[in-house]
Structure formats: structure tokens, C-alpha cells
Amino acid sequence: MHLFKPFNTICDLKTGVLSPPGNHIVRYLADMKEMFHDREAAETMLKENPKVYEFYNVVIPEEDGHLQHCTSIIYPGKVGKEYFMTKGHFHAVAGTAEIYVCLAGKGLLLMQTEDGQAEVLEMYPGSISYIPPYWAHRTINTGDEPLVFFGVYRGDAGHNYGTIEKQGFSKLVLEEDGQPCIIDNPRYNPRGGD
């Protein structure tokens, strides 16, 4: 048995910044422009190429028995009417769950099964969202401050971004009259992964 030593990571609860930062990944609009519904608006915004979100992943062995954990920060903003959001993913080991604890800001957690069933949960400071096995997950900042949350998931779960890149989510979250509005995604293509 390999004994792994316990350790602390310090999280700034307002900003989500971890110390030490571990794997720090930043996603700019150019990294995900095809994921937004309004391609014209995305193309125009590329001149400034805003930072959409970033995350800090504590470095943990990618093995069952360990627990990966991370913080994510989604910036406020919109592409056309669509709020800034994460790319969204299934886990590479699809039957693994995840927990998100919201630390700051507000938003929505959009989840989807392989056959397109969708569920949405609200995120606000103190909300603990359970993402069961087999649900893809995307977070959306519907507020005007950064949405910050902590996530924890099985060590070997991994990320499958490809299915969502090809198929999209079945729902979009747009701002209508100043409020988040969930609509069907006309570009959702459940056969896109075939």
C-alpha cells in the first residue's frame, strides 16, 4: 500500500483562488467560441477575447480511492444574450458523481444525460449541488459578480469534453428582460457523437 501524505490547500472563499494553485487553467472565449449560440456575437467579441472562466485543480493521483478537488471561477458576462458558462463535460468514467459547493456569486448548474434529459439547479453561496453519475454538467453565471464554487469528484473520473463539443446541451440559458430564461437549444444534436 502506498501511503499518500495528508495536506492542506488554502482557498480564498471570495475569489476561489487556491494556494498553492495546482493546475491552473484559464478559458478564453477563443477556446470555446463554438459553444455559444450567437456565433456572430462571439466572432465580434473575439477582438477582445475575454476570459470566460478559470479553475484551480489540486494535484491528486488520478486513481480510484482518491478525491480530486478544485475551484472554478466563472466571470460575469454574455455572448449576445447567453451568459458566460463553462464548456461542460461528462466524466471519462461516466458513472462517477461530483459535488459543487457554491462559495460566491450566483448561477445555474445545467445537467444532462446521454439521451438529452436536462435538469437545472440554482447555485448561490451555501448551495451544495449533487451531480449524480452519468450527468454532464455545465455552470452558468447569471449574476454580475464572479460565480465561485468548489468541486470534488472521484480520483480517476477524468473529463470527457468531446461529447458536449459535438452534441451541445439540449438547453440554453439566455437573458430575457433581465432574467435568466431556459430554452431548447435549436442546435442540440444528440447524434453528433456518432
Binding residues for Fe ion, rule: CB under 5 A, are 98
| Least distance CB 117 / Fe ion (angstroms) | 17
Smaller CB distance to Fe ion: residue 54 or 98?
98
* CB nearer Fe ion, residue 28 or residue 161: 161
CA pair distance 142, 178, nearest whole angstrom: 10
* Helices vs strands, H then E, count in the chain: 2, 15
Instruction: Tell me the closest approach of the beta carbon of residue 137 to Fe ion, in angstroms.
Output: 6
Instruction: Please say which residue, 16 or 42, places its beta carbon nearer to Fe ion.
Output: 16
Alpha-carbon distance 94 to 124, whole Å?
Answer: 26
Residue among 147, 59, 68 nearest 103 (CA)? 147
By beta-carbon proximity to Fe ion, the closer residue of 82 and 98 is 98
Report the side by side order of strands in the sheet with 179-184: 78-79, 82-83, 171-176, 179-184
The minimum distance between CB 32 and Fe ion, in angstroms, equals 16
**How near is the Cβ of 191 to Fe ion at its closest, in Å?**
24
